[in-house]
Chains A and B, each alone.
Chain A
């Protein structure tokens, strides 16, 4: 079928900064669970860095929203894998995401004040765009368990909201 390689390619293009070695292959449910969970953990860590560093109340409020929502979604994900007796499986996509996030965190650690706020929020826009693209084009179409698929779809709705929120905060900072 022609559709899947194109979707995988689109996801790859969107992911850009974090090359996905295995993205062309269809990830398994245990891998999808691991990728989704990792993506959430990364955003919570980025948010905690922002809460500690930023003095801008809109930026801090946004970061607190990220912690609250991503922790809630990940708690659901953990409950689901437990229920399904699935063990999330580490994979190249998760590793690439973690590596890219560590780089970004180091970059942000060197910035302060308005420069930090701008870089953090812009990265949040880019990151949510990237994760939403991957969810839409690769992870959701690849998920075979219906409950996992449904949780990913809920996640996509939530993260699309985050993307709009981040875009709004980014526009305010300018």
Chain B
């Protein structure tokens, strides 16, 4: 078992490493039949979002005036989220496909 002091030191070390929080997770969003599912997700800074495109068409995950991720047909693309905020995104090729990501501090 870890002593409290040891745990504190581990946490301090993780914090000093900064960029990669210890429990960064990968959250999957499936794209099927022209829709993001789940469409609305909540993640923490440092988590990875992985879009799994099951359609035969290319899609994108795009934030107006922000990031843009290409997701080719039958492929997967991912992105790490660096800042805490909430964004609406859509597919540039099919603007009726919409999603939302809420990023909170870890």
Indicate if the CB atoms of A69 and B33 lie closer than 8 Å: no
Indicate if the CB atoms of B73 and A157 lie closer than 8 Å: no
How far is it, in angstroms, between the C-alpha of A160 and the C-alpha of B58 when the chains are bound? 16
How far is it, in angstroms, between the C-alpha of A161 and the C-alpha of B31 when the chains are bound? 14
Q: In this assembly, does B94 line the interface, its C-beta being within 8 Å of a C-beta of chain A?
A: yes
Indicate if the CB atoms of B56 and A161 lie closer than 8 Å: no
Indicate if the CB atoms of A76 and B56 lie closer than 8 Å: yes
Indicate if the CB atoms of A165 and B96 lie closer than 8 Å: yes
Total number of A residues with any Cβ neighbor in B under 8 Å:
16
Q: What is the CB-to-nearest-CB distance from A131 to chain B, in angstroms, rounded to a whole number? A: 16
Which of the residues B33, B92, B97 comes within 8 Å of A154, measured between beta carbons?
Answer: B33
Q: In this assembly, does A87 line the interface, its C-beta being within 8 Å of a C-beta of chain B?
A: no
Which of the residues A72, A164, A165 comes within 8 Å of B56, measured between beta carbons?
Answer: A72
Indicate if the CB atoms of A69 and B96 lie closer than 8 Å: no
Q: In this assembly, does A82 line the interface, its C-beta being within 8 Å of a C-beta of chain B?
A: no
Q: In this assembly, does A136 line the interface, its C-beta being within 8 Å of a C-beta of chain B?
A: no
Q: In this assembly, does A99 line the interface, its C-beta being within 8 Å of a C-beta of chain B?
A: no
Q: Top 6 A-B pairs ranked by shortest CB distance?
A: A164-B96, A157-B33, A161-B94, A65-B93, A161-B34, A157-B34
